[in-house]
């Protein structure tokens, strides 16, 4: 069956919420409660979960820790993923020190930058290395995921280097043209686009309120 792209993003959101519930000692939850906690319609919560088989009990709801475990299995987060970060500027520092990264199953195993003033300093406990060391770290930790926080001018070059080192899933900040290829998945997050959407939403009265 074809799983909607957006379902995956929502599963991550449910997982996030389930962790909160578990911390608060809550053992059972209904689709309605998940819906309320995540801002998603309860029908959709059930639909999303049903793509992977039912995890709940009719008339009862879902077992929090079981559902959490199941979603972790679906999203492939039963172990944590090693990632590298290229670019040790302000953004790179912000990314590396984001607690969510670790909490949600990623581990920064390498930070790279060609700015010599940054090299050898540390970021979130990981020593900053020059770019030429990238391939060996990728090989050593079998890294498949790379995050690029360099200025957009340097972006294509870094993406290319990552691909050639065996990294096949790349996240860039700011948009990277011509980046899709058969060698790697490249995704961009761009907060300025989100701002632009907000400006437009404000104009367009017909869709004034999100969700």
Partner DNA sequence: TCATGTGAAGCTATTCACAGCA
Partner DNA sequence: TGCTGTGAATAGCTTCACATGA
Sites of contact with DNA (CB under 7 A): 2, 4-7, 30-32, 41-44, 46-47, 49-50, 53-62
Partner in contact with 78, chosen from DNA, a copy of itself, none, beta carbon below 5 to 8 Å by kind: none
Burial of 145 (0-12, 13-18, 19+ CB in 10 A): middle
Among 89, 136, 140, 164, binds a copy of itself (CB under 8 A): 89
- In angstroms, rounded to a whole number, what is the distance separating the alpha carbons of residues 23 and 150? 36
Longest dimension (CA), the chain: 62
* Residue 189 site contact among DNA, a copy of itself, none (CB < 5 to 8 Å, cut-off depends on kind): a copy of itself
Among 32, 52, 61, 91, binds a copy of itself (CB under 8 A): 91
Shortest Å, Cβ 203 to DNA: 16
Distance CA 132, CA 138 (A): 11
User: Which residues inside 21-60 make contact with a copy of itself, applying CB under 8 A?
Assistant: 37-39
Q: Write each residue from 144 to 173 as x if it is in contact with a copy of itself (CB under 8 A), else as -, in one continuous string.
A: xx-x---xx---------------xxxx-x
Nearest partner of 64 among 9, 104, 103, 17, judged by Cα: 17
Residue 126 vs residues 41, 115, 129: alpha-carbon distances, Å: 41, 16, 9
Q: How far is the CB of 140 from DNA (least distance, A)?
A: 37
Residue 201 interacting entry, from DNA, a copy of itself, none, C-beta within 5 to 8 Å by type: a copy of itself
Q: Which of residues 107-136 bind a copy of itself (CB under 8 A)?
A: none
191 interacts with a copy of itself by CB under 8 A: yes
Helix (H) or strand (E) holding 188: strand 185-189
Question: Closest separation between CB of residue 159 and a copy of itself, Å?
Answer: 13
Tell me which of 58, 60, 178, 205 binds a copy of itself, using CB under 8 A: 178
DSSP 144: -
Q: What angle (nearest 5°) sits at the alpha carbon of residue 203, between those of residues 201 and 204?
A: 65
Q: Count the Cβ atoms, other than its own, within 10 Å of residue 207.
A: 9
């Amino acid at each position: 069956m074809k799983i909607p792209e957006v379902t995956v993003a929502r599963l991550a959101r449910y997982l996030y919420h389930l962790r909160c519930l578990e911390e608060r000692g809550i053992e059972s939850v209904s689709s309605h409660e998940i819906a309320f906690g995540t801002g998603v319609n309860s029908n959709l919560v059930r639909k999303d979960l049903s793509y992977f088989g039912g995890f709940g009990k009719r008339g009862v709801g879902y077992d929090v820790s079981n559902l959490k475990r199941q979603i972790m299995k679906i999203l492939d987060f039963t172990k944590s993923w090693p990632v590298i970060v290229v670019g040790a500027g302000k953004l790179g520092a912000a990314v590396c020190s984001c607690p969510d990264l670790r909490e949600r199953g990623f581990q920064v195993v390498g930070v790279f930058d060609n700015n010599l003033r940054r090299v050898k300093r540390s970021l979130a406990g990981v020593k900053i290395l020059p770019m030429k060391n990238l391939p060996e770290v990728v090989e050593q930790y079998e890294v498949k995921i790379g995050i690029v926080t360099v200025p957009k001018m340097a972006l294509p070059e870094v993406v290319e280097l990552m691909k050639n080192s065996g990294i096949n899933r790349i996240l860039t900040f700011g948009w990277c043209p011509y980046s899709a290829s058969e060698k790697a998945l490249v995704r961009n997050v761009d907060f300025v686009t989100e701002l632009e959407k907000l400006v437009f939403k404000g104009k367009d009265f017909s869709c004034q309120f999100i969700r």
